[in-house]
Structure 1
Amino acid sequence: MNFEKLIWSNYGKFILLLLSAVVIIQGYHMMWLMKIHNSRTAHSNRQYAQYEENISFQMSANLIKVMQHVVDTVTEVHISDQTGSYYIIPNVIVADVNASSLPISLCTQTTPNHLHYLKDLSESWDGPISVAVFTDHKNTIQTLHTALYMHQCFESIRKFVTFHLLYPIRLEPIEVSKLLSMEVDCNVDMADVFDGSETKLNYANEIPYPHNALRNVAITYSNSEYIFMIDIDMVPSEGLVNGFQKFIKRQSLASSDRSKDAEGKVVYVVPAFESKLPIRASNKISLLKEWGEGNVRPFYSMVCAKCQVVTDYDKWKNLPNIPFLDIGYILDWEDPWEPFYIAKKTDLPLYDGKFKQYGFNRISQVCEMYVAGYSFAVLNNAFIVHRGLKEKDKFHSKKEEENLKNKELFRAFKLNLKDKYPDITRQC
């Protein structure tokens, strides 16, 4: 009995010793695994840090290259506009994506203090944007620095937005080379870059604002087959680039039996709205909901309702709900309709650069399109929304004075159209 106890006692000690050995071995194994893991983690962290450093270096090198291109372009390239009043500097900052690879470019114009709208615009419009910026000798460096900040710090802008400059011939940019010593810091908040300049009005500056000359620059130096001219503080409905691309392919197949001339004499109207901030409507369903709740209304409805009423918003609202872009209905132009539209760039009449400040700048070009034989096809699902509601009491003090001046200019413009299009019976 004592012998059996001795055996079991020794066996128990052996088992305990064996278990202890296993625990020790497992402990060493875990320590070894942890050492390998820590080594790999440290190596991975070093690799990631090196990757970040390489990316930062690449971005810095690219920024220096872009800066030098900007300085060289502003110094060397000066093209006179059609009026002989301004110099154009095209492609001063060029988008990464080649615009000719997509069928449509959005074209717009602005002063430097409204360039911040490009962030939302470029994120809503998944395609090329050609923007013409108005500046002068004193503001050129700050304008370029702001554009460089937008280009460097926002991927959608760097990818799609190409900047052009327009400035009065008598106010040539000065000391542009100073731009090379200025820092572009993406850690700086966009609001600080613009420093409250949103309160300024384009029309209230000492230098008359040349809408039409700027629009011509944005159109002329866009590289897509179609252009979509809107104001910079507007936002297009989602998926419009892709939807229009598919629409044009269907139109091309359907019109194969028609002449090119007949096909080219149409523009595609995009209904315009205005909204209380912020803009929340991204598709027609959400737009109609916001419209029904009073957050959205037809553009200019409280300022110049007749300027947009021809669009027939009620008819557009009640079009059949189909999941693709198509023509809803076709309209003839009527005075004083000012539709926003998508058009083929080829043979499109440019804007008359003599119109500046407020009044008749956009309608003069639409009037000429009508006289030239264009029809106006309203798209069923596309729209644009202006940031904020337009109110009569929120315009600058000289609005009416400028409007009367441009009204006289418009009368002369219409008389000239009779000479320019002698064989066409349409009048506006």
Structure 2
Amino acid sequence: DKKMQLAITSGMLRHHGRHGAQESHEMASREIISGLLRHYGRWRLQYLYRKLIHVACVCAGHNASRDVVTLVKSILFHRRNPLHFHFITDTVANQILSTLFQSWMVPSVQVSFYDADELKSEVSWIPNKHYSGIYGLMKLTLTKALPSDLSKVIVLDTDITFATDIAELWAIFKKFTEKQVIGLVENQSDWYLGNLWKNHKPWPALGRGFNTGVILLYLERLRRIGWEQMWRLTAEKELMSMLSTSLADQDIFNAFIKQNPVLVHQLPCFWNVQLSDHTRSEQCYTEVSDLKVIHWNSPKKLRVKNKHVEFFRNLYLTFLEYDGNLLRRELFGCPSQASSESTKLQNALEELDEDDQCYDFRRERIMVHRVHLYFLQYEYTSTEDDTDITLVAQLSMDRLQMLEAICKHWEGPISLALYMSDAEAQQFLRYAQASEVLKNRKNVGYHIVYKEGQFYPVNLVRNVALHNAKTPYVFLTDIDFLPMYGLYDYLRKSIVHLDMANTKKALVVPAFETLRYRLSFPKSKAELLSMLDMGTLYTFRYHVWTKGHAPTNYAKWRTATTPYKVEWEADFEPYVVVRRDCPEYDQRFVGFGWNKVSHIMELDAQEYDLIVLPNAFMIHMPHAPSFDISKFRSSPGYRYCLTTLKDEFHQDLSRKYGSAALKYLTAQRNI
């Protein structure tokens, strides 16, 4: 019901403007529920909700994985039904989307994945000139790829935005005649009319032909009529004269429909308003409010010409930057098919004591953040000698300017976790695409951890970066440090020299700092020592937190020519190189304080030797203090909770490592 849908959407937007995100979400949910109850009555509402809607997408690579998230958000925003997404993916998209949906935990949403590699042989024989490559042909294989008991599915391109409830589109299946098996919108460009340029010869089509960005596929009926054989025969016949497809699956679908017009159900054009150049999309609607699906089917995407393009852009950008956490809302009247993860989370939350002074800290530890791995293109080829090493770090929006410098100082692979909102992630994308330095580096994995809660979950974010390093060794650092030039090669040699493959070692890279924003970076240890003597450089945090790095023994390092072992001391938090299978960071520590200290303590508890490298160094660059350190300094409650968490960490360490862990408690009490 359109009026009801508009009331719901405007109610949500009204509340969202007036209140904070969480409150807005809850109030809007209440308004939706009472509105629906008034409108439909309880029994009819529950009947509506039982319908599970199936949606299929072919999604390959990093860019398509980003696009499909915006599509999914637009569907989730309007939907009132449970959904089942079916993704035909390559390895990259599978890893990205499976992690995203697992961590998103949207109620009443199921997700299934199908291996595109297994389907390649079905379509690889078809020569295809379209920029989507072999994946552009895979919609032809859906009767085979999807479960044999699935009777109907909506098939969507990744460059689609919904402006209405997808259930309205699903309902059109009921309007199919007995013979109709496929629902499509007419093509809004003149492509199939064959008059775009001299000697332009398109594939055969019925009239203007059909666009395959939005398809209703009646799978059950397609299987019955022998679809797999029919489309193959059509393709083979046409390829004899056409030699290749220009528009991938669309050409074959159209040639098939030309031969079998009775099988197609023409959908109203507002179900696929095509915004490519040379389209007649503006003749498809009188009011923009009539639109239901917008299709950005030009390689130029948002830069197409259309008198309403600003309206379309804003609608698209709304979902692009929309806070995905708000889509975790329950569907009223729909028995939630809670995953085991969300049930575990719910149980853990119920066990927390809301009167506990440190409730917010404890809640933060068990919160599940949405994670989008490999947000940008990533390519890495492993080295043959098994000594490769990834620089691992985390950052938020205010440290973005450090990225280019780090890339210039470290040529090896990098794994970065970025703590950002949906809108900030888009700003980061634009920044990275505009930077020559970042554009040219394909061996940097950028993983977005989406913001939620009131603390910076620093160790959770670090763990995301650590878990997604692909090399046998990792250099655990912070984004505001610049490694010395050549550190990557020096560390790889040290890994061999110190036999790290067969021993438990953590190699310490001594840390220094400058208070100057413009620094002539030292090219050697000798140059660094002279800058230290002149007072242009200092040992890291010597004037505010000496204990953090004192055990590195800088006096010994000045003259050292061989690696030397140091002993753990309380509050030691050096930056280290370890094997990738090292312990992860303890996620109870959020915001400022003890996040690295606890990690080094656990390395020591596991009997890693701490070895300082004599010819390695890194320099901390100055920046404004973080929001979390300001909170720590100004809030007694924050400091009290940090002390409480430390005590609990010590107890857990004792339980885990027995009497050997007593030294940590003793050291803490002696401070």
Q: What TM-score, normalized to structure 2? A: 0.43
- Structure 1 CA distance for aligned equivalents of residues 646 and 432 of structure 2: 34
* Range moving further from structure 2, 358-367 or 237-246: 237-246
- C-alpha distance in structure 2 between counterparts of 1:285 and 1:317, whole Å: 9
**How far apart, CA to CA, are the structure 1 residues paired with 2:661 and 2:653?**
11
Native 8 Å contact 1:303 1:391 kept in 2: no
Distance 1:386 1:344, change over 3 A: same
Match of 2:532 among 291, 294, 300: 291
Instruction: Give the deviation of 1:412 after TM superposition.
Output: 0.5
1:381 counterpart residue number: 615
CA shift, 1:100, in A, is 5.8
Evaluate the alpha carbon distance shift between residue 157 and residue 134 of structure 1 in structure 2; reply closer, same or farther with a 3 A threshold: farther
1:301 alignment counterpart: 542
Point out the more displaced range, 208-217 or 238-247. Answer: 238-247
Aligned pairs for 1:111-150 within 5 A: 111-150=396-435
SS of the residue 2:658 aligns to: coil
Q: Does the residue aligned with 2:478 lie in a helix, a strand or coil? A: coil
Say whether residues 1:396 and 2:630 are aligned partners: yes
Contact 2:407–2:438 (CA under 8 A) maintained in structure 1: no
Contact 1:89 1:166 in 2 (8 A): yes
Three-state SS of the structure 2 residue aligned to 1:357 is coil
Backbone CA RMSD of aligned residues: 2.9
Q: Is 2:600 aligned against 1:366? A: yes
639, 644, 654: which is aligned to 1:408? 644
Shift of 1:155: 5.4
Verify the 8 A CA contact 1:129 1:160 in the aligned structure 2.
yes
Cα contact 1:100–1:225 (8 A) shared by 2: no
Is the 2:432–2:438 Cα contact (8 Å) retained in structure 1?
no
Corresponding residue for 1:221? 468
Match of 1:350 in 2: 584
Q: Is the 8 A contact 1:110 1:232 kept in 2?
A: yes
User: Deviation digits for residues 178-203 of structure 1, max 9, x if unmatched?
Assistant: xxxxxxxxxxxxxxxxxxxxxxxxxx
Pick from 515, 518, 529 the counterpart of residue 278 of structure 1: 518
Q: How big is the shift at 1:390?
A: 9.2
Mapped to 2, the partners of 1:292 and 1:350 lie a distance apart of: 37
Q: Which amino acid aligns with 1:273?
A: F
Q: Name the aligned partner's letter for residue 415 of structure 1.
A: Q
Which residue identity does 1:92 align to in structure 2? F
State how 1:91-130 maps to structure 2 within 5 Å. 91-98=374-381, 103-130=388-415
Instruction: Provide closer, same or farther for how the CA distance between residues 425 and 162 of structure 1 changes in structure 2, counting only shifts above 3 A.
Output: closer
Give how far 1:395 is off: 5.4
Correspondent of 2:442 among 159, 177, 184: 159
Distance apart, 1:389 and its partner CA: 8.2
Cα separation, 1, equivalents of 2:504 and 2:655: 20
Q: How many pairs does the alignment contain?
A: 311
The answer for the alignment partner of 2:553 in structure 1 is 312
> Is the 8 Å Cα contact of residues 73 and 89 (structure 1) preserved in structure 2?
no
- Unaligned stretches of 5+ residues in structure 2: 1-59, 73-96, 105-364, 665-671
Q: How big is the shift at 1:315?
A: 0.7
Q: 1:396 to 1:381 in 2, by over 3 A?
A: same
Q: Secondary structure at the match of 2:418?
A: strand
Residue 423 of structure 1: how far off its partner (Å): 6.8
CA–CA separation in structure 1 for the residues paired with 2:464 and 2:518: 30
Structure ID, larger Rg: 1
Equivalent pair of 1:104/1:128 in contact (CA under 8 Å):
yes
Change (3 A) 1:317 1:72: farther
Amino acid at match of 1:213: L
Paired position in structure 2 for 1:3:
none
TM-score where L is the length of structure 1: 0.66
> Map of 1:130-209 to 2, 5 A cutoff?
130-150=415-435, 153-154=436-437, 158-168=441-451, 207-209=454-456
CA contact (8 A) 1:119 1:156 kept: no
- Cα 1:385–1:413 shift into 2, 3 Å: same
1:243 is paired with a residue whose SS is helix
1:147 Cα offset (Å): 3.6
**1 or 2 for the larger relative contact order (CA 8 Å, sep ≥6)?**
1
Q: 1:113 to 1:375 in 2, by over 3 A?
A: same
Corresponding position of 1:54: none
Mapped to 2, the partners of 1:295 and 1:156 lie a distance apart of: 33
Alignment equivalent of 1:67, drawn from 53, 63, 75: 63
For residue 127 of structure 1, give the secondary structure of its aligned residue in structure 2.
Answer: coil
Q: Which residue of 1 aligns with 2:267?
A: none
User: Is it true that 1:334 corresponds to 2:574 in the alignment?
Assistant: no
2:101 aligned partner: 78
Take 2:617 and 2:445, find their aligned partners in 1: how far apart are those partners? 23
Aligned equivalents of 1:364, 1:331: Cα separation in 2: 17
**What stretches of structure 1 of length at least 5 have no aligned partner?**
1-63, 172-205, 321-325
The separation in 1 between residues aligned to 2:454 and 2:543, in whole angstroms, is 28
Which segment drifts farther, 73-82 or 243-252? 73-82
TM-aligned CA deviation for residue 84 of structure 1: 3.8
1:245 maps to 492
Per-residue deviation, residues 128-156 of structure 1 (Å, max 9, x unmatched): 11100001244332233334434xx2257
2:653 aligned residue: 417
Q: 1:418 to 1:70 in 2, by over 3 A?
A: same
> Percent identical across equivalent pairs?
26
CA 1:319–1:216 in 2, change beyond 3 Å: closer, same or farther? Answer: same
Residue 264 of structure 1 deviates from its aligned partner by: 3.5
Say if 1:371 and 1:427, in contact at 8 Å, map to a contact too.
Answer: no
Shift of residue 107, structure 1, vs aligned partner? 0.5
Q: Distance in 1 between matches of 2:619 and 2:643?
A: 27
Aligned residue number for residue 44 of structure 2: none
Alpha-carbon distance in structure 1 between the residues aligned to 2:65 and 2:596: 33
What's the secondary structure of 1:154's corresponding residue?
Answer: helix
8 A contact 2:591–2:629 mirrored in 1? no
SS, match of residue 159 in structure 1 = coil
SS at match of 1:67: helix
Q: Secondary structure at the match of 1:93?
A: coil
Paired residue secondary structure (1:132): strand
Cα distance between partner residues in 2 of 1:384 and 1:286: 13
Relative to structure 1, the CA distance from residue 398 to residue 132 in structure 2 (aligned partners, 3 Å threshold; closer, same or farther) is same
* 3-state SS of paired residue (1:264): coil
Q: Which residue number corresponds to residue 268 of structure 1?
A: 507
**Aligned: 1:235 with 2:470:** no
After superposition, the Cα gap between the structure-2 partners of 1:139 and 1:219, relative to the gap in structure 1 and judged at 3 Å, is same
Distance 1:210 1:336 in 2: 20
Displacement after TM superposition at 1:342 (Å): 0.5
Give the C-alpha shift of residue 113 in structure 1.
Answer: 2.9
Tell me the distance in 2 between the aligned counterparts of 1:271 and 1:215: 20
- One-letter amino acid of the structure 2 residue matched with residue 375 of structure 1: D
The letter of the residue matching 2:507 is Y
CA distance in 2, matches of 1:157, 1:336: 39
SS state at 1:333 partner: coil
User: One-letter code of the match for 2:479?
Assistant: I
Contact conserved, 2:592 with 2:629, CA < 8 A, in 1? no
